[in-house]
Structure 1
Amino acid sequence: MELLSVIRRWHCRDHLPIREIERRTGLSRNTIRKYLRAESIEPRYQVPERPSRLDPFVDRLRGWLVLEAARSRKNRRTARRLHEDLVALGYDGSYGRVAAFIRQWKHEQHQARQTTGRGVFVPLRFQPGEAFQFDWGEDWAVIAGHRVKLQVAHTKLSFSRAFILRAYPLQTHEMLFDALTEAFRVLGGVPRRGIFDNMKTAVDRIGSGKARQVNLRFMALASHYLFEATFCNPAAGWEKGQIEKTVQDARRHIWQDLPAFADLGALNAWLEARCLDCWERLQHIELARTIAEVHASERPHLMVPGRPFDGFVEQTKRVSPTCLIQPSCVMILQPLHLSSCSVDCGCMAWPRLRLTS
């Protein structure tokens, strides 16, 4: 580029003959005349077409890439592995040529998705009182001097980002019902829609697309609180990304400072107070206000929860003289007692029948 600029200055400005320019530059007269006649500002060189050693294997490699794109990320073959498979078929070229072809193929696929609209994601935006998100997490705590593993229920309003945590020993129906009931109490109401993953306590069977066979007891809960249950696609955590992020943040910022507690009720009371304190301190990610201030503006848009949902299931059984329970439902005998869960958490635990003498 610099040499071409010098040639143009010598000929057009200084009026040097082509023979003198040839002597100074060492270029042929035909080359100098070509640049001057075309009035080129930037030199262009014609690259000769050279056949690549990968050309006979291009169709095979492209077919492999299409198949690998349909597999899960963990099961895909790497570019190094694809090069080894091509070598086994007779390819004697370099790995760099194969890697360059794969990069070009992925770039073309990305451009095609952008053109057709596939692969374009729209950020989720919610109206006040529109939706809440729910998910389970797993953490450890010291209860009554013992370190126990707990299942933590996370509930979060999608608009104000107000969240609440409650810990339970298991992820049973009754503990799920109690977690949502307590969450609606703390949040001050019920949104019109709930976003869940496909947990077994809510979904009995996953159909094609968004088709779900919802559990009858969970359906009764949703009908009681009048919210519409929406279930994410399998392995699509981004559809409820707010609560997924809350599970991570709570593990880093809340559970690391966790003291010891006498029982699970004291832990849940501490978690509730800590969440309310976070509402006052944390800024909303989109609005220039705290979470507590945004939640106060969203609260009038929430539905009134009404009476708590009764999660108990009562069954009548006949007891024989040998203390065997028969399936025929006639009456409830007085010697039958109901016991709650093994940890005193105050939740609506699944009632279990226990015989007493």
Structure 2
Amino acid sequence: MLAKIRRMHLRDGLSIREVARRTGLSRNTVRQWLREEGVTEPKYPERSTASVLDAWAEHLEAALRADAHRPVRERRTAKALFEQIRALGYAGSYPRVVVWVRRWRERQASAPRRAAFVPMSFELGDAFQFDWSCEYVFVGGLRRRLEVAHTKLAASRAFWLTAYPAQSHEMLFDAHARAFEALGGVPRRGIYDNMKTAVDKVGVGKARSVNARFQAMCSHYLFEPEFCNPASGWEKGVVEKNVQDRRRQVWREAGERRWSDLASLNAWLAERCRQGWEETAHPEWSELSVADVLQDERTRLMPCPKPFDGYVEQPVRVSATALVHFQRNRYSVPTRWVNEVLSLRAYPEAVVLVAEGVEVARHTRSFERELTFYDWQHYIALVQTKPGALRNGAPFKAMPEVLQTLQRHLLRHAGGDRVMAQVLAAVPVHGLEAVLVAAEIALEAGRPSAEHVLNVLARLKDGAPALRELTQPAPTLKEEPRADVQRYDSLREAQQP
């Protein structure tokens, strides 16, 4: 409209009266706009009207800002805020409060929230970034929550994923060992947030009280740990973006599958990581893939040493049933350590019991609860004095099928439990494989006994006859014997005078 008025008056030479007639504007408005320098849109002041709610605006805004830091289910509604200020003396209506709250939230939603950041650049072999993410997949027939370790080289953008049931120390150490081995070396620095497994206490500025075991791992791999400022995830934005990208690409596919165990899932993740290196273009050199840049970076990485022995150790007391308790599960140890204090070393996949610096028991670690894991060989020494426990002993239900079959045969006779105890006593002496072979031979004989089993074990120990007995078929008669009574009578006649 401004341009139209200026053209009609200045170019076409129409009078202000004629311009006003043609545009429908007043002559004073046309005259005022023609006096303005340049073509700018006129701005009129907003109409301000006093409201009874103005005196409570500051109180409502403070309440809404406080609610922004609370969980959604704990935030107050407009009705609750109205009741609150009415109790303090507000005399207005409820709809005014609703309109004010709605407009305040709209202004907050439209306000710019993103701050400015400086782009980061890293030299090859300089640093890696580490972070955890939470994902859900079906493992072992159940939908489980998994903690995924993300390790990403800051220069080449090569990444490595490993899934674990938790974020404990042993999982953290194992994740580093696997990542360094897969990436082909160790960078000079590691960038972390202030996770509890690495930082015991956050000080002022960059001051950190680093966990002793975490520091030992850093010293083993010879890299320097650096920690971001609290609530400053952009300081390790490379791995933060990796969490988002892998969630859209890898975990969406993983969530659609069913995994028998965690090992098969991690094997598939390893293949997907290597495939991602080949398919992803580098953000700075689009002509090269991540795998191409990784080849150059590997030449600048420090050599990868042997994996850090990343266990978590704690003392445990052996119960009267030769069991130790760890994370609501029970694990067996040899009965000679009953009522003693042992050292339990927890690994991501195993639980190891150590006494006097020597490993005395090892079990596969379980993250379920209220389960008991027996090694029946731990109780062999005890049943020598208590053979009756063999009949209903819980640990011996896990014996090999051959020994269980032999036990059923022996328990049919009086004193069979003591005879079975003698057979089991040979396991520590001769080895489990030899005892299993001897038990099979005794069962094939039809009337198994402890003497028979021990005799076979002795022959196995002395030489090869017993082995040939197993590997070669039993000899068979070419001509079956016949009951010839007449031949017997002929012999009697020949002896008579």
Matches of 2:19 and 2:251, distance apart in 1: 79
> Which one scores higher on RCO, CA 8 angstroms, separation ≥ 6?
1
CA RMSD of aligned residues (A): 4.9
Conserved? CA contact 2:150–2:243, under 8 Å: yes
Structure 2 matches for 1:259-270, cutoff 5 A? 263-270=261-268
Output the TM-score relative to the length of structure 2. 0.52
Query: In structure 1, what is the equivalent of residue 13 of structure 2?
Result: 13
The CA distance in 1 between the partners of 2:341 and 2:168, in whole Å, is 25
> What's 2:412 paired with?
none
Question: Taking structure 1 as reference, are residues 334 and 220 closer, same or farther at Cα in structure 2, changes over 3 Å only?
Answer: closer
Superposed displacement of residue 338, structure 1: 3.5
Give the alignment of 1:218-237 within 5 angstroms: 218-237=214-233
**Residue in structure 1 matched with residue 178 of structure 2 by the alignment:** 182
Partner of 1:347: none
Q: Alpha-carbon deviations, 1:256-285, whole Å to 9, x = none?
A: 444555554343233212211110111123
Letter in 2 for 1:197: D
SS at match of 2:235: helix
What is the match of residue 154 of structure 1?
150
What per-residue deviation string (whole Å, max 9, x for no partner) do you get for residues 207-235 of structure 1? 44444332211111011112222233444
Question: What is residue 484 of structure 2 aligned with on the other side?
Answer: none
Radius of gyration: which is bigger?
2
| Structure 2 counterpart of 1:278 | 276
Structure 1 residue 50 displacement after superposition? 5.5
Q: Would you say the 8 A contact 1:4–1:41 is kept in 2?
A: no
Question: How many Å separate the matches in 2 of 1:308 and 1:189?
Answer: 12
How far is the alpha carbon of 1:181 from its aligned partner? Answer: 0.5
Correspondence for 1:306: 305
SS at match of 1:13: coil
Q: Which residue of 2 aligns with 1:324?
A: 339
Contact map agreement 1:135 1:244 (CA 8 A) in 2:
yes
| Paired position in structure 2 for 1:204 | 200
Q: Is the 8 A contact 2:122 2:155 kept in 1?
A: yes
Q: 2:20·2:30 contact (CA, 8 Å) conserved in 1?
A: no
| Cα distance change of structure 1 residues 47 and 91 upon mapping to structure 2, 3 Å threshold | farther
Question: Secondary structure at 2:119's aligned position in 1?
Answer: coil
Larger mean Cα displacement after TM superposition, 244-253 or 37-46: 37-46
Give deviations 1:293-347, integer Å, cap 9, x for gaps: 111122222222222212246678898988223599xx6297942334228xxxx
Q: What is the rounded CA distance, in whole Å, between the counterparts of 1:281 and 1:310 in structure 2?
A: 34
Gaps of 5+ in 2: 321-335, 344-354, 368-376, 383-497
Higher alpha-carbon deviation: 194-203 or 231-240: 231-240
Q: Distance in 1 between matches of 2:228 and 2:7?
A: 66
The 5-angstrom pairing of residues 1-357 of structure 1 reads: 1=1, 4-5=5-6, 8-9=9-10, 13=13, 31=28, 35=32, 38=35, 51-54=48-51, 57=54, 61=57, 65=61, 72-74=68-70, 88=86, 89-90=90-91, 119-137=115-133, 138-143=135-140, 148-258=144-254, 263-288=261-286, 289-312=288-311, 323-326=338-341, 332=356, 336-342=360-366, 357=382
Q: Decide whether aligned partners of structure 1 residues 44 and 228 sit closer, same or farther in structure 2, where only a CA change above 3 A counts.
A: closer
Q: Return the alpha-carbon distance in structure 1 between the equivalents of residues 33 and 337 of structure 2.
A: 113
Q: In 2, distance between residues paired with 1:57 and 1:48?
A: 19
Say if 1:243 and 1:7 are closer, same or farther in 2 by CA, change over 3 A.
closer
| CA distance 1:82–1:192, shift in 2 (3 Å) | farther
Aligned length: 332
Deviates most, 151-160 or 123-132: 123-132
Alignment partner of 2:151: what SS? strand
Instruction: Give the % identical residues.
Output: 42
Work out whether residues 6 and 34 of structure 2, in 8 Å CA contact, stay in contact via their aligned partners in 1: no
Aligned residue type for 1:277: Q
In structure 1, list runs of 5 or more residues that go unmatched.
344-353
8 Å Cα contact 2:139-2:262 kept in structure 1: no
C-alpha contact 1:318 1:332 (8 A) present in aligned 2: no
CA distance in 2, matches of 1:57, 1:6: 46
